[in-house]
Chains A and B, each alone.
Chain A
């Protein structure tokens, strides 16, 4: 399988076998009072090292899917397994630890704590894990992400792009198995959004497994190696990009469904 080349050592060159990191089996999610489900019988697997974009219009269930993978929500039926852990068997405390140790989550609207400095925001997950020497790691991470100089500023004094990079740093501080991003560029201008996506691409090159939700097909096909399309709570398309030219016509579809009309 060809992958895009980004100039760094690709994970497959290390001789690793791709292993399954996330498995969703027949997932259904119905909210209280809902007539139709947010998710209807979704099954898919995400492998380690993949950069997956989940795409679809508003209400398609993509964010719901992401929340289930993150352990922020529980399915009405079906199972979610991430890094070998069946999330359905975990208590609320167990899910919190799972999110702290295994997941890095980046929100559309950053969701930084306004009364903490940028560095303090980055360090929260580490300190929840009682990592007493995380400060130096936090500063190093921020420097790497190009925001080292704003470590002691409060979020209100940062640009949108800076805030989102702080959020990314927070998501990475505990070296998560899986990085999830829900419309990470939705609240950013084009330039800032490109910077953030370039960051994701760089992280993926280093082996980070990323799942990104977006409604922008251009963004999805430009950066992700796999694009899952959703509509009305179902996966209607699941394509891995095989060439370095990112043209939709070159997409080899793994699965396809005609959207119901």
Chain B
């Protein structure tokens, strides 16, 4: 055993560069894999733990303000809830802070505790007076609201002020950048803050066991049946919240897992190439080893250890590194849950990764080394060198026919002289280029989706109206501005739809909404009353398709609706309706739009417009530029993709470098001969570069369709997770020039990677090599 280790270490010292390549590639692969698995194992539990700790509500239902509170108090028994909270009076509150207006659904509740939906006060205290309010921590952080700040309520004529006294984490809410938020005041404060017609009651329900989606729907149906028609205005359940909470981590984990598998596959290919190359170059050495007494297993051990040792070192660094790198994402999750952040990882998982990684590395190293073990000693000594690869002759002849310079002809032939090595190298480069394609394409796709969701380029100004200011006045103000080209007003209603337990949030547009450029995947935008569009999630869950009609219900009134199109929208994970204002029944209460999207004429001064319009009603109008920036989760995913692209790219470069190193060392005698007959050092470098360039070109051309397919697939995964189909335009983010340039860029990188092995080859000492016989 000692002799095996001594020989392996001596060979490792001799092959320092290749050991470094193995170390780096395994390090990168293990780090990304560890990140993925740590996130997967650690993000599932904290949410559940926080949900249990806060006695989260499985179901939250909003009722019309006219519903009898005593009747509401009997609802827990109707549906078999084990605990309940409420009824809490609620109102839609609009307030101003820092020059901006905000809308929050505000609940009257006298304490944070209770039997269900315990609110975790993370800073400050619960309101003690009617002029105090608590906000969610997520909302406060996103909008820079601090404890002690005063907010001005503008949704009621009295325009009172409230002092922010605390921040809470509500387990039944998503993050502020993805979902609307709640606020809390004392019960006694609610009447003064309530706009007539905009108040409701909220009930929280908790059940003995975690109910399924169909069970939850059954509860809502039972409530609906036992209460006066139209009593239920909205409902939301813990499954949806958990999905929204986890969606970012799920996407990141999925992407990391997939690409860490790529990284591992590429690393295995590099290791297999390296070991086969070492065996080939050490034929005589193998013969001598066997002649002096190494057993076949010992010979295999010597070669395998040359890979296992640097790989082990890489695992010992890469696994902790991956664990550490996953912590910011875990901290983000803990923070959102209101949990104190504790570095979390699973030692068992890390050990499993170490063992698993070493097993994979050992197999990747041992299988190619079998050849060395099985070689007969006399054969190895007599032949002294492995049979040279003869493949590549066809390529060389074609290159010669094209009258390419001789060094390029020889280099092209060398690229595929050993088909297995070339194939493994192609795999590593292919994975690298494919990942780069995804890393370029997916953020662009996200940007397109973001543009659609935010109306980027279609409207420049967003105006929110206080309920104290009539809609007609707002329209008068806007139409009076010369820069105003178009105004689309937006109202939101919750419409009950057969087949969906919760009322569906519906966007009601007034004005030419077809110019808002939502992504219509199929069918068309609505052109009149009664026509609706919906995302795929809605259509799937209601078993509707384009052309179908159904009857919705709003405030107890039936709405005859016809599906005319499928639209892309991530709100509420695909449960959303889009329709024209004229669809609403006449005299629908509180249906005046409260949001206005303004398109300015070309050349307009945006800031001047905003200042002028805001100045007309500073307290009752919130006027700001359209915010088209990417939301936080998308930025995180983009960053992760960038890191993965760099990782896979480096592994691909390592693969090319490793192959060229093996090739140049294996062909050192040929290189010396070529130099002896007149090949200049520069021509040697060109020969090596030609080899690299061809491998990279072939791999790059193969990688493009693979990368585009992955881009396609990942878009579908993301779209499906948000309840949507993918719009065709989201796939189509590369132009023809880029489709050609990316493989060529890969060729350029490969040629740069070839310079070092090329220079080493160019410096071959002819005499030492050719006369060493």
Chain A contacts to B: CB under 8 angstroms: 63, 67, 70, 72-73, 92-93, 96-97, 99-101, 103, 105, 107-109, 111-116, 120, 124-125, 127-130, 132, 154, 170-171, 174
Contact = CB atoms under 8 A, between A and B. Distances in A.
A105 B677 contact: yes
Given A115-B393, A127-B406, A96 B767 contact: no
B676 A115 contact: no
B403 interface: yes
A97 B674 CA distance: 12
A107 B417 CA distance: 25
A86 B682 CA distance: 22
Given A109-B773, A125-B677, 4 more contacts: A96-B683, A97-B680, A115-B389, A120-B396
Q: How many interface residues does chain B have, given as a range?
A: 20 to 34
A101 B673 CA distance: 15
Given A114-B388, A154-B390, A127 B417 contact: no
B406 A115 contact: no
A42 to B, nearest CB: 17
A96 B670 contact: no
B388 A124 contact: no
A242 B681 CA distance: 44
A208 to B, nearest CB: 17
B669 A93 contact: no
A146 to B, nearest CB: 21
A155 to B, nearest CB: 10
Contacts of B393: 115
5 contacts: A99-B676, A100-B678, A109-B773, A114-B388, A128-B679
Given A113-B670, A114-B388, A124 B680 contact: no
A96 B681 contact: yes
Which residue of B392, B403, B767 has the most chain A CB atoms within 10 A of its CB atom?
B767
A129 B683 CA distance: 11
Contact of A96 (B396, B403, B413, B680): B680
A97 to B, nearest CB: 7
B767 A128 contact: no
B409 interface: yes
A97 B678 contact: yes
Contacts of B673: 107, 111-113
Nearest to B405: A130
Which residue of B392, B396, B766 has the most chain A CB atoms within 10 A of its CB atom?
B766
B384 to A, nearest CB: 11
B770 interface: yes
A101 B677 CA distance: 9
B685 to A, nearest CB: 11
A45 to B, nearest CB: 23
A73 B669 CA distance: 17
Contact of B677 (A63, A128, A130): A128
B675 interface: yes
A109 B678 CA distance: 18
B771 interface: yes
Contacts of B678: 96-97, 99-101, 103, 125, 128-129, 174
Nearest to B393: A115
Given A108-B773, A115-B392, A127-B409, A72 B766 contact: yes
A56 to B, nearest CB: 15
A97 B675 CA distance: 10
Interface in B738-773: 766-767, 770-771, 773
Contacts, number: 81
Contacts of A115: 388-390, 392-393, 413-414, 417
Nearest to B684: A96
Contacts of B676: 70, 72, 99, 105, 107, 111
Nearest to A102: B678
Contacts of B392: 115
B388 A96 contact: no
Nearest to A173: B677
Interface string B645-676: 00000000000000000000000011011111
A225 to B, nearest CB: 26
A107 to B, nearest CB: 6
A211 to B, nearest CB: 15
Nearest to A103: B678
B682 A99 contact: no
Nearest to B389: A115
Nearest to A105: B676
A96 B683 CA distance: 10
Interface string B503-530: 0000000000000000000000000000
Top 6 nearest A-B pairs (CB, nearest first) are A100-B678, A96-B680, A127-B406, A111-B673, A93-B680, A114-B388
Interface string B561-587: 000000000000000000000000000
Which residue of B388, B405, B678 has the most chain A CB atoms within 10 A of its CB atom?
B678
Nearest to B407: A128
B766 A124 contact: no
Nearest to A117: B393
Nearest to A111: B673
A92 B388 CA distance: 29
A111 B770 contact: yes
A212 to B, nearest CB: 16
Nearest to A135: B400
Contacts of B407: 128
Contacts of A170: 677
A112 to B, nearest CB: 8
Which residue of A67, A127, A129 has the most chain B CB atoms within 10 A of its CB atom?
A127
Contacts of A107: 673, 676, 770
Contacts of B679: 96, 100, 128
A185 to B, nearest CB: 15
B388 to A, nearest CB: 4
A92 B773 contact: no
A59 to B, nearest CB: 12
A93 B685 CA distance: 12
Which residue of A96, A124, A171 has the most chain B CB atoms within 10 A of its CB atom?
A96
A132 B393 CA distance: 19
B669 A111 contact: yes
Interface string B380-420: 00000000111011001000100101110100011001000
Contacts of A113: 670, 673-674
Contacts of A114: 388, 390, 670
Interface in B21-37: none
A152 to B, nearest CB: 11
Nearest to B766: A72
A154 B393 CA distance: 11
A93 B675 CA distance: 10
A242 to B, nearest CB: 34
Contacts of A63: 771
Contacts of B413: 115
Nearest to B680: A96
Contact of A92 (B390, B406, B417, B680): B680
Contacts of B770: 107, 109, 111
